[in-house]
Structure 1
Amino acid sequence: MKFSVERAILLKALGHTQSVVERRNTIPILANILLDAKDGVLRLTATDMEIAIVEEVPGVQVARPGRTTAPANTLYEIVRKLPEGAMVELDHKGGDAPLALRAGRFSTSLPVLPVEDFPSMTEGSMPHQFKLEAPKLRGMISRTRFAISTEETRYYLNGIYLHTAEVDGRKVLRAAATDGHRLARVEEDLPEGAGGMPGVIIPRKTVNEVNKLAEETRDEIEFRLSETKISFSIGTVTLTSKLIDGTFPDYERVIPRGNDKVLTVSKKEFAEAVGRVAAISSERSRPVKLSIDRNHLLLTASSAEQGQAQEELDEGSVTYASSPIEIGFQARYLNDITDQVGEELEFRFSDGSAPTVVADSKDPGALYVLMPMRV
């Protein structure tokens, strides 16, 4: 195998593929990337056995077609540090011979492992297919992934639950995530072809990799899925992933329906106030207490070492007309939710110990539930 390609083109493709590779693994071949050059196209493949990513790079000058593997992270770092505009030549004579890399006056060689050892993650049948615009997918991910659980024992919460639902006679595509302390649920109009899809749990790593790819385009992303796998086609890149084999909880049961105490507050002023009062404590789990009265909000945080901090928000940025209430939330959880909301937050309370609904007053498709802390 021998080919030449412009450094920026190769670097972009390696950036996509090498991020799937696990730096710590017990199977040497999984640290490598598969390079396949023929007919003017370079095909790069990487996998960790849970995710596989394939990218096709057209316009490559292939002098001798062939296939080999190379250490993904080392190759990426070398190409990243080459000067802009450099032409990169990769040459593999076959067998156990090293992979020679040349760019201008720079040259090196990299060890290879047998192509036959590189695992193939076959896609299998994926009967459900639909398309969704990249900005919509990014929105669904960004507004839910912060609530994905990191507790490995509850593995079925370690991803985003993608499924269909019906709202007032209208079919929607929903994404939901929860860690037991907060819940995020967002929805978009149901894409054509998605009606019969099963509910699937997309793993956290897959969510992050797809989001990075979606950030580079505004085009439609093609989804293909079965009950065990999902595939995303984004331009010249195809990412295939196993799904989490588990049952996502019936999250609708934990969404309060009767919360009738409604607080609306400026997102910017609220978020800044939370940040200031919470700065008094280095404990990430320290609660911020909200004391709410008619068109008035007092935020308080305390620390055994630093004392107490408080800030008042009143009429002009706060609207509240119900009976007084005191309730506490973890500052980080409040910040995670306010980061997803536009200009105005809407809190719906029942009492100081019950789950609270948080909504974006201008985005009816997004809803969050937050469990209070004892204060």
Structure 2
Amino acid sequence: MKLTIERAALLKALGHVQSVVERRNTIPILSNVRIEAEESGLKLTATDLDLAIVEEVAAVVSVPGAVTAPAHTLHDIVRKIPDGAEIELSFSTEDQRLHLKSGRSKFTLSCLPSSDFPEMSEGAMPHQFALTASELKELMDKTRFAVSTEETRYYLNGIYFHVTDAAPDAEGGASAGPVLRAVATDGHRLARVELPAPDGSRGMPGVIIPRKTVGELRKLIDELDGTIQVALSDTKVRFSFAGATLTSKLIDGTFPDYTRVIPVGNDKELTVDAKLFAEAVDRVSTISTDKTRSVKLALESGRVTLSVMSPDNGTATEEIAVSYEGSAMEIGFNARYLLDILSQITGGVVQVLLADAASPTLMRDAQDGEALYVLMPMRV
């Protein structure tokens, strides 16, 4: 195998694929990236057996072939080569080493046979549809903060995607007809975002896309503006775009009936500038020393008083003007959870619907009917 490639192109592709590779592996081949030189160019593949990424990049191939090399080491080498340089990669069966040359720099890396590299069998993926990069970013960005990290409740360790009919009432969002809905919850907060169901998505099974897959996919499409092809079955999902393909196993579990925790009778409405609210919460929570970082909200007509008490540091209070005409009440929240939700409010004004100090609180962007958040209160 022998090829020549621009440093920038190789670095970008390696940056994508090496991210999937775990730093610690008990199976040596999983620490490697498969390098395939074909007439059409270079193909890089990495996997952790649950997630696989394949990226194609332009290269001048003089001798086709395939080999695997340590992913993180190769990425670090290419990263440290001067920008604008050309890199020559070659592999000889005589010494079983990958040779990298660039200018006066030469590196030799240990290799493992390409034939030992595991293949992720995809099987049939009968459900296929397309999303724009901005649509997929929105579905992930506005929900993934609520994904659980508790391994015991593994079925909450991802985002639940499914197609359903939009509810006819105000709680169902602004969309009419079938919607593609993304939901995440950790038991303390819930995020639900939806958009009109794309062509081909009707009839798809409800699937839970793992947290790691969501993170890797989000990095890959960060600067992408095009269309993403989505294909899925009951067990796997595949995303294809701009010369890259990400294939992942789905979480084998049943996502709970999240509709049961979305309150429908909350009659106390508070509206406030989300940025001012978030800044006030952030300031008063600075004094908190406990893990929960609890903040108490005392609501009265036209204002809310935020307060935090810390046995070690003292107290903090701040009053902000709001639109609220309900009866006076006090309610407590985890400050970090509250800030996570407020950071998703892009329209400027957050609408908060409350019932009492012990019931779930509903929050939404006043200008975005497609996103909805639920936050459980806490005793303060």
**TM-score normalised by L of structure 1:** 0.98
Match of 1:256 among 263, 269, 294: 263
Q: Distance in 1 between matches of 2:292 and 2:266?
A: 25
Rounded to whole Å, the distance in 2 between the matches of 1:372 and 1:42 is 53
Q: Distance in 2 between matches of 1:126 and 1:353?
A: 44
Cα distance in structure 1, aligned partners of 2:132 and 2:377: 36
C-alpha separation in 2, matches of 1:40 and 1:6: 15
Alignment of 1:105-254 (within 5 A): 105-167=104-166, 168=168, 170-254=177-261
Deviates more, 1:95-104 or 1:207-216: 95-104
What is the alpha-carbon distance in structure 1 between the residues aligned to residue 128 and residue 311 of structure 2?
56
User: Deviation of residue 78 (structure 1)?
Assistant: 0.4
Q: Which residue of 1 aligns with 2:173?
A: none
Give, in whole Å, the separation in 1 of the partners of 2:327 and 2:94.
78
Name 2:49's counterpart in structure 1: 49
Amino acid at match of 1:77: D
Cα distance in 2, alignment partners of residues 166 and 94 from structure 1: 58
1:13 aligns with 2:13: yes
What 5-or-longer segments of structure 1 have no aligned partner? none
Deviation sequence 1:212-259 (CA, Å, 0-9, x none) = 112121111000000000000011000000000000000001101100
Paired letter, 1:21: V
Shift of 1:127: 0.4
CA contact (8 A) 2:146 2:185 kept: yes
Code of the residue aligned with 1:50 in structure 2: it is D
> Which of residues 314, 328, 340 in structure 2 aligns to 1:336?
340
Question: Contact 1:291 / 1:325 at 8 angstroms: preserved in 2?
Answer: yes
Cα offset, 1:96, TM superposition:
5.1
State whether residues 284 and 331 of structure 1, in contact with CA within 8 Å, keep that contact through their aligned partners in structure 2.
no
- Pick aligned residue for 2:329 from 301, 304, 325: 325
- The alpha carbon displacement at 1:284 in A equals 3.4
Rounded Cα–Cα distance in structure 1 between residues aligned with 2:131 and 2:115: 36
Deviations 1:299-325 (A, max 9, x none): 0011111110000002xxx10011011
AA aligned to 1:247 is T
- 1:184 to 1:78, Cα distance in 2 relative to 1, 3 A: same
Q: Partner amino acid for 1:347?
A: V
Q: Distance in 2 between matches of 1:42 and 1:374?
A: 57
Q: Give the match for residue 286 of structure 2.
A: 279
Instruction: Say whether 1:32 aligns with 2:32.
Output: yes
Residues 287 and 331, structure 1, Cα contact 8 Å, conserved in 2: yes
Distance 1:61 1:87 in 2: 11
Partner of 2:23: 23
Helix, strand or coil: the match of 1:120? coil
Which of 309, 312, 322 lines up with 2:319 in the alignment? 312
Indicate the residue corresponding to 1:354 in structure 2. 359
Task: Write out the 4+ residue segments of structure 1 that deviate beyond 6 Å after TM superposition.
Answer: none
Q: Does the aligned pair in 2 maintain the 1:213–1:234 contact within 8 Å?
A: no
SS in 1 for 2:201: coil
Structure 1 CA distance for aligned equivalents of residues 32 and 221 of structure 2: 24
Q: 2 CA distance for matches of 1:180 and 1:122?
A: 34
Q: Quote the Cα distance in structure 1 between the aligned partners of 2:163 and 2:40.
A: 42
1:91/1:100 contact within 8 Å kept: yes
Q: Conserved in 2, the CA contact under 8 Å of 1:284 and 1:332?
A: no
Q: Is the 8 A contact 2:305 2:318 kept in 1?
A: yes
Measure how far apart 1:40 and its partner are: 3.8
1:99 aligns with 2:98: yes
SS in 2 for 1:363: coil
Q: Unaligned regions of 5+ residues in structure 2, if any?
A: 169-175
Q: Residues 87 and 182 (structure 1 numbering): CA distance in 2 closer, same or farther, change over 3 Å?
A: same
- Residues 228, 243 of structure 1: 8 Å contact kept: yes
**Quick one: distance in 1 between partners of 2:18 and 2:256?**
34
Q: Distance in 2 between matches of 1:191 and 1:349?
A: 34
Q: Which of the residues 353, 360, 367 maps onto 2:372?
A: 367
Which amino acid letter does the alignment assign opposite residue 192 of structure 1? D
Residues 289, 312 of structure 2: 8 Å contact kept: no
Q: How many residues align?
A: 371
Deviation at 1:123, TM superposition (A): 1.1
Deviations along 1:182-203, one digit per CA (max 9) or x if unpaired, are 0000001110110111000000
1:286 & 1:2 partners in 2: Cα distance?
Answer: 57
SS in structure 2 at match of 1:364: coil
- Please name the residue that 2:72 is paired with: 73
Contact 1:96 1:113 in 2 (8 A): no
Contact 2:195/2:370 (<8 A) preserved: yes
Percent identity over the alignment? 57
